[in-house]
Chains A and B, each alone.
Chain A
Amino acid sequence: MRNEKENSWQIVWILAKTDFKLRYQSSLLGFLWVILKPLSTFAILSLVFTNVFKGGHAYSMGMFTGIILWNFFSEGTMAGMISFSMKSHIVKKIFIPRWIIVVASSINVLLNFIINLFVLAIFYIIYGITPGIPYILIGLYYCLLTYLIVVTFSFFIAPLFPKLRDLNQIWEVILVAGFYTAPIIYPMEIMPPHVQTLLYLNPMTFIIVHIKSVLINQQFIFPFHDLIFTLIVILGFIASLFVFKKTSRRVAEYI
């Protein structure tokens, strides 16, 4: 029994490692692309919006933080969604527990995210934003929650994509809406209260609002709300596991 669990995680790891090798072994700037994407998004948006929201470095670093977190969510859910199709040559030929495929797809995205966190840290230091250790730890906690959210969404949508091939296009549109309903470019405060409530339907809104507040403003607001949110995330994750168990059983038949 225990051997099988260990073997499962070894498969997760080797699949992720293989994907990583394949992606970067033949590209020159290979690794650099990992940080280039959020960096360039930040550069362009910063150019435009620092004149709209005059907040100096605090504003732009807040936006950069939001961009990196959002990238993690969007890339993670995308990778999860196409994971069965990408690994169809394995799923159709041998039995491996289906969760392995989905989780393995999130590992490389997680790695990219961690690298971008380091870049973010460097920028923070350059701009003199130095949250204390407790705030950094809380920030990391939000990152962990984000990973859980990514995996939850991945479990829900991965079995759907092989059946409905345009789901990735639909999801891309949803992700665009998500980017603008999470206060990444703008601060939450400029929205009227009833709009703010609506924005919280986006799971990343809570994360981004709170992580910005913790890291940039060194304000830890409302621990009560954090507990509720954590509970919702955990319940959502458990629900996704149950649903996934059912929906993924026959995946090999229609990949």
Chain B
Amino acid sequence: MNTASIVTRNISKSFSIPHEKINTVRGAVVNIFKKKSYEIFRALDNVSFEVQKGECFGIIGRNGSGKSTLLKIIAGIYEPDEGSLIIKGKISPFLELGIGFNPELSGRDNIFLNGPILGLSRRQIEECYDAIVEYSELGRFIDQKLTNYSSGMQVRLAYSVAIHANRDILLLDEVFAVGDESFQKKGIKEFQKYRAQNKTVILVSHNLDSILHHCDRALLIHGGKIIAIGTPREIVSLYRSEYVTIPLGGKSTTL
């Protein structure tokens, strides 16, 4: 039986970028007989890999290599054009912290807004509420509007709620560099707790040291294609030696 948590098979995704953007009914009607030219940008090309349960799997690549698109497909935000995706377990995507946060509401209200979006039931939030506030180190500021928070405080609150969303699979996109040093240390401790609970993690980072330090395996992606999958050491050195200096630019065909 396959113990993989995440299986992607031949995933491809293209975006069609029209040369003229038509986004009104009027535009569509007026241009109905005009030949529309567009570019097809192949963001992901035949991507296949597996992530085992309990593994920490790193993904590295240049900006524009397709990492975000891949993560969004795994998180269920985008649909692949081709290929299949199997996910065993519930995902907690940390693609961004504080999803749904509204600055006009208090910290408390934002916890109750962000929590259910991350999959926590109302009862779970009520049970963890004190723990969430304590972890964020916000104290009595929790009842203040978010507009009165510093950006560090907002991020600590978001991070604290996300930490308490207890799911099987984590998609982490560059979230370690958050807060001051003591807060970051707490974050790493939480991360190690996850690993101890045998949770699957996908870690996307430009910080190659954290990939080397935390991941069991890693993948290098460039131009929408998987270049290599291997040990973090292999992948990082491949990346550093060959891919860091390649000029950017995805493949595109003009029709």
Contact = CB atoms under 8 A, between A and B. Distances in A.
Interface in A21-37: 21-22, 25-26
B188 interface: no
Contact of B28 (A14, A94, A164, A253): A164
A24 to B, nearest CB: 12
A6 B121 contact: yes
A94 B102 contact: no
A163 B93 CA distance: 26
Most chain B CB within a 10 A radius of its CB, from A3, A10, A93, A94: A94
A7 B75 contact: no
> How big is the A interface, by class?
20 to 34
A6 to B, nearest CB: 7
Contacts of A7: 116, 119-121
Given A7-B121, A163-B23, A253-B15, A94 B109 contact: no
B104 to A, nearest CB: 6
B105 A10 contact: no
A166 interface: yes
B116 A165 contact: no
Contact of A22 (B77, B102, B116, B122): B102
Contacts of A11: 116-117
Interface string A204-219: 0000000000000000
B116 A89 contact: no
Nearest to A164: B25
A84 to B, nearest CB: 13
Interface string A158-177: 00000111110010000000
A13 to B, nearest CB: 8
A14 B25 contact: no
B130 interface: no
Contacts of B113: 14-15, 18
A166 B96 CA distance: 30
A137 interface: no
Interface in B87-107: 91, 93, 95-96, 99-100, 102, 104-105
Contacts of A94: 75, 77, 93, 95, 99, 117-118
Contact of A96 (B25, B96, B105, B117): B117
Interface in A55-104: 89-96
Contacts of A167: 25
A163 B96 CA distance: 25
Given A14-B116, A95-B93, A164-B23, A252 B109 contact: no
B75 A95 contact: yes
B230 interface: no
A166 B116 contact: no
A128 to B, nearest CB: 45
A90 B117 CA distance: 9
Contacts of A95: 75-77, 91, 93
B116 A18 contact: no
27 contacts: A6-B121, A7-B116, A7-B119, A10-B122, A11-B116, A11-B117, A14-B113, A14-B116, A18-B113, A21-B105, A22-B104, A25-B104, A89-B100, A90-B99, A93-B95, A93-B99, A94-B117, A163-B23, A164-B25, A165-B23, A166-B26, A250-B78, A252-B72, A252-B77, A253-B15, A253-B78, A253-B79
Given A94-B99, A94-B117, 19 more contacts: A3-B121, A7-B119, A10-B116, A14-B112, A14-B116, A18-B109, A18-B113, A21-B105, A22-B105, A93-B96, A94-B93, A96-B117, A163-B23, A164-B23, A164-B25, A165-B23, A166-B25, A252-B78, A253-B78
